[in-house]
Amino acid sequence: IFPLERMTVEIKKLAEYKCDTNEAICLKLVRFPEDIEDDGTTFHPEYSHQIFGDDEVAFGYKGLQIQLFYSAGNLSTLFKVKYSSKVTETFDCVEPDDVEGKIREIVPAGFTCNTDDFISLLEKDANFKPFGTLLHTYTVHNEEAGELTYQIHKADITCPGFQEYHERLQTFLMWFIETASFIDADDDRWDFFLVFEKYNKDGETLYATVGYMTVYNYYVYPDKTRPRVSQMLILPPFQGEGHGAQLLEAVHRFYCSLPKVQDITAEDPSENYVKLRDYVLVKLCQGLPSFAADKLHLGFSADMIKEAQDKLKINKKHARRVYEILRLRATDMSDEEKAREYRLEVKKRLFGPYRKNQRELAKMRKCLRPEELVSHMGQMDTQTQHEELEKSYQVVVEDYRRIIERLASQA
């Protein structure tokens, strides 16, 4: 047994062999061989807990670097693990984490660990063409490169080579979506929407993967479907350029063209997705007659619900948010009476969950003992409800203002 001091020194030394896996994992989308050594093209995960545990730490290495480099188009993969020293070289009976094994669990077979082999695969990207049907083309102005052209394609599992490509593409989910999981792409109810950038290399037109969305088509009795967005990811090098809005709008327009679609929803949407959806749906709805400025002050109407549903496959809940955003845009909030009317209109909707709590409390009175009832009533204090409602209202209006500003900047 070590003396206490010696144990403390040993523990400190072992702590030096801990690495933050979000920093250690180096991701790249490679277009040219020189990108491989260029640190400027590297990006890192937001999350690695699904692979390395809640602490997002790998033990057993100093200077750990986990390289996952992908060719920009076909996503051919280079996988390397580098480190300056390993714990087993210094300490007996201490095992390092099996970093390579953990990564192999999510990266599909077919990757290479050899840089020269990867460069050969990179050359084959010249033959890569986007999968599926072209839905939409758009351009984005880039200060360095000028006008860049992007394409959105719809693919499914029957496209030759797509299944293998999708297996490589979905590995990015683990690093950028907190609760991500891989999907069973064999199910023919899945639709895939892919975004690609067109670029030139040695006089040839090539395509780089920008992002994608998966949508599952649920059956709705008797003869409709309800497409539900499952996952959506724009890869970090392309974020903040408006691709998410372009993708969501293209997907919405595609499903609006199908008579069998009832409405379009999303599975467990993140806050960012809700904001993006609000922006896209407002953009689509602002031209509908029922959402005209002179109708908005009359309140949320059955005409709005019907027109949003029939023309744009938007359900009542989402149509209500669109109405609130457009009404805010059309309201002079410096006019106290108009501002008050708007505030009451939004708070009436936000109060729904509190009303539900009151109904639940009435049921509880019949079956709870007095001391249990007191504890539940304490949670529903009226003053607290009003404060929470005001907080919720302020957050909602702040989000709505950002959407209105974004619409104004795109006009």
Residues 359, 387 within the same domain: yes
Residues 294, 254 within the same domain: yes
DSSP-derived secondary structure letter, 233: E
pLDDT of amino acid 344: 94
Residue 176 lies inside a defined structural domain of this protein: yes
Residues 324, 301 within the same domain: yes
- Domain end position, chosen among 125, 148, 165: 125
DSSP-derived secondary structure letter, 265: E
Q: What CATH number does the domain containing 109 carry?
A: 3.90.360.10
Q: What is the dihedral of CA 253, 255, 257, 261, to 10 degrees?
A: -150
Residue 4 lies inside a defined structural domain of this protein: no
Residue 45 lies inside a defined structural domain of this protein: yes
pLDDT tens across the length of the chain (411 residues): 445 555 565 667 777 889 999 999 999 999 999 999 999 999 999 999 999 999 999 998 999 999 999 999 999 999 999 999 888 766 666 788 999 999 999 999 999 999 999 999 999 999 999 999 999 999 998 888 789 999 999 999 999 999 999 999 999 999 999 988 899 888 899 999 999 999 998 889 999 999 999 999 999 999 999 999 999 999 999 999 999 999 999 999 999 999 999 999 999 899 999 999 999 999 999 999 999 999 999 999 999 999 999 999 999 999 999 999 999 999 999 999 999 999 999 999 988 765 656 656 556 556 666 555 455 544 556 777 788 889 999 999 999 999 999 999 987
Read off φ and ψ for residue 298, nearest 5 degrees. -80, -10
Q: If you search the block for the tokens 């993708």, which residue do you land on?
A: 247
pLDDT of amino acid 1: 46
Q: What CATH number does the domain containing 279 carry?
A: 3.40.630.30
Residues 148, 114 within the same domain: no
Residues 290, 355 within the same domain: no
Query: Can you tell me whether residue 67 is helix, strand or coil?
Result: strand
- Domain end position, chosen among 89, 109, 125: 125
| Residue 43 contacts residue 176 (beta carbons within 8 Å) | no
Residue 168 lies inside a defined structural domain of this protein: yes
- Domain end position, chosen among 125, 144, 163: 125
What amino acid is encoded at 297 in this protein? H
Which residue range(s) make up the domain with 36?
Answer: 14-125
Residues 226, 96 within the same domain: no
Q: Which residues are catalytic?
A: 267
Residue 112 lies inside a defined structural domain of this protein: yes
The whole-model pTM stands at: 0.89
Domains in the chain, number:
3
Q: HSE-up of 110 (CA within 13 Å, CB side)?
A: 12
Within 8 A by CB and 6+ apart from 157, the residues are: 163, 185, 186, 188, 190
Residues 145, 200 within the same domain: yes
Residues 38, 174 within the same domain: no
The sheet with strand 65-71 has its strands ordered as 25-30, 65-71, 77-82
Residues 145, 21 within the same domain: no
Residues 132, 273 within the same domain: yes
- Using CA atoms, how far apart are residues 13 and 60, in angstroms rounded to an integer? 11
Residue 232 lies inside a defined structural domain of this protein: yes
pLDDT of amino acid 79: 98
Residue 3 lies inside a defined structural domain of this protein: no
Residue 6 lies inside a defined structural domain of this protein: no
Residues 208, 271 within the same domain: yes
Residues 30, 75 within the same domain: yes
